[in-house]
Structure 1
């Protein structure tokens, strides 16, 4: 039986299975694990190296403080403590305000001469357009330069309805303005405020519309007087009335005085952010810089040092900062022509600089008249 089976080729074939090539999972798995651990090690090494550079070197520290300054100008100011610590954050904020106060100590030499005739002109100068708009840009930013050739064409506008701020585009359309730019700061709880309560002082048409302090309480202000001169610095409301200031809001700092920039370097430029700033040339021409930001791939934003450079290149003798960030907006011909950074769209604001063909006819009324500033709820919509 056994001999027959061994001599039967079919039986032999059935008894001896064919050899198949088996997979080798162990070596492949081992290679993957090795790659994984090498990657983790490399990332750990790079992270450790970056941290040492970020916190212990001069170049890393400069970038760290620039990032902290940028956060200070946003609704996430408290995040800056993770970069520089809680104590250093407060010191940084306090230092900026001391710098802003120091800038106001520089005496204005009154270089601006609005409407001064050109003695060397052979013929009368051609009439300039009411406004001009130019693109401006730097290594990290893009924006617009709004040129207002007659400073007396500017008015501070306020919302038309009490209890809620108004979009600049809405103010422009409602009041028939040629252009509009956001203006002063406002109380903004949790950065979700209704835009109705300004900070400091608001003046329009030579009258005080809003004042959250006394008549002798100094405020950082940005305004225009009866002669069309840009007034920026720290003043009491009573002083503003004596000086003949017509339009004004509260914000800071004044950073160009007598044609000299006060900000000495990028490190003191108050971080990178969307910006709105105002300047004036010697002949009275007003310039607004509207800088887009917080949009990687298009425009990250600018420091005040960046804008100071732009203004000086355009002949500014005085310049000051206005509210910026997600409030920054430029409206022309009833259209927004910049790219605001707010994810919720154009913000509701208490004040705006508007340009009019006939500013004396603008129907701007005081919606805060009779209201107690301490009883305004800026979070109630």
Structure 2
């Protein structure tokens, strides 16, 4: 035990593992436990540095490498290519994790959907079934007191169908967003809300960081990967296809993944842009009305305020704004409606 303690706290290799474990705890409801591994001062500094790096990642501007323009038709192009499947789900894995990669071939088929009951979030599987969606994953962050919140109050901004449904700032406030514009291009990073409207962003939620920009990964190593955890993340390839990575964690079959792990999976599939979505116990993938992955919570799916859903005809789907007319400062995210 003495030898282990000396190795764990006094050697470079031991400290590397110690900080990975601390980062893993930081992503859970037991964040304070990390102080026993690295001390309170280092814990606070670690969290501060992560948020600062996330802010910097969000400020790198997109060079527009995604090409969505239709290819010109020539006289020799008489054979039509076979139709591309809208939704494709495949298994992914790594040394410590198992999960799924979902590909959406047409980004304009995605829509942000919100709950249909004021004062309470909704499970993604319920949103999928209620709206007739083909598939869905969890969306942006939300205010979650003691990790026991009702899933009703988002953090940041929610845009659906080109309309602002929720905004905890002003039009000139900056938000970390993950979204899709009117042309089907993924928009991620830090933007003023007024910028998002001018850019024609149609669907968006708030979360961070954006960790791939212009085809370059911004997470430089596993040590910077924000710990091992269940993950949900979104990316776009050069041809416009949207990728969702959903990784199980905190379970025997899958401990979890770092952001570096997710980044490497996305880059290997040709991602140009990628950003993190809410993870942990929120991570869920629903396809054909079945939960495909294994959410980490012992209670199953969480109640959430937003989800990315894929539809054959999203223009026919009506999403009511349940926050319209509410004073968001008076929402109590700890109280459940019955």
TM-score range, shorter chain: over 0.9
In 1, the alpha carbon distance for the partners of 2:318 and 2:266 equals 32
User: What is residue 259 of structure 2 aligned with on the other side?
Assistant: 304
Q: Secondary structure at the match of 2:18?
A: helix
Structure 2 equivalent of residue 367 of structure 1: 322
SS in 2 for 1:363: coil
* Alpha-carbon offset, residue 239 of structure 1: 1.0
Structure of greater relative contact order (alpha carbons < 8 Å, 6+ residues apart): 2
Measured in 2, the distance between the counterparts of 1:118 and 1:91 equals 53
Distance in 2 between residues matched to 1:257 and 1:286, nearest whole Å = 14
Aligned to 2:276: 321
Determine the structure 2 residue equivalent to 1:54: 8
Of 223, 226, 230 in structure 2, the residue corresponding to residue 274 of structure 1 is: 230
Aligned residues of 1:277 and 1:289 also touching (Cα < 8 A): yes
SS at match of 1:109: coil
| Map of 2:118 onto structure 1 | 162
- 1:376 and 2:331 are equivalent in the alignment: yes
- Gap regions ≥5 residues in structure 1: 1-46
The separation in 2 between residues aligned to 1:116 and 1:258, in whole angstroms, is 21
Cα deviation 1:146-170 (Å, max 9, x = unaligned) = 0000000000000011000000000
What is the alpha-carbon distance in structure 1 between the residues aligned to residue 285 and residue 72 of structure 2? 32
- Residues 221-232 of structure 1 mapped to structure 2, 5 A cutoff: 221-232=177-188
Please tell me whether the aligned partners of residues 115 and 283 of structure 1 are also in contact (alpha carbons under 8 angstroms): no
8 Å Cα contact 1:115-1:284 kept in structure 2:
no
Q: CA deviation at 1:238?
A: 1.0
Kindly report which structure 2 residues correspond to 1:58-77, keeping only aligned pairs within 5 A, or say none: 58-77=12-31
Gapped regions of structure 2 (runs ≥ 5): none
Say whether residues 1:103 and 2:47 are aligned partners.
Answer: no
User: Residue 349 of structure 1: which of 287, 304, 327 is its match?
Assistant: 304
1:1-381 equivalence runs, <5 A = 47-117=1-71, 122=77, 123-296=79-252, 298-381=253-336
CA distance in 2 between partners of 1:354 and 1:366 (Å): 16
| Alpha carbons 2:208, 2:277 under 8 Å: kept | yes
1:86 deviates by: 1.1
- Aligned counterpart, 1:33: none
The answer as to whether partners of 2:160 and 2:203 remain within 8 angstroms in 1 is yes
SS, match of residue 196 in structure 1: coil
CA distance in 1: counterparts of 2:314 and 2:73, whole angstroms: 29
Size of the aligned set, in residue pairs, is 334
Q: Which residue in the other structure is 1:32 paired with?
A: none
1:172 match: secondary structure: helix
On the 8 A contact 2:92/2:98 being kept in 1, the answer is yes
* Distance in 2 (alpha carbons) for counterparts of 1:104 and 1:113: 21
Larger Rg computed on CA atoms: 1
Contact between 1:212 and 1:373, CA under 8 Å: does it hold in 2?
Answer: yes
Higher helix share: 1
Provide Cα deviations, 1:177-204, integer angstroms capped at 9, x if missing partner: 0001000000000100000000000000
Contact 1:158-1:351 at 8 Å conserved across structures: yes
Asked whether the equivalents of residues 232 and 245 of structure 2 are also in contact (C-alpha less than 8 Å), the reply is yes
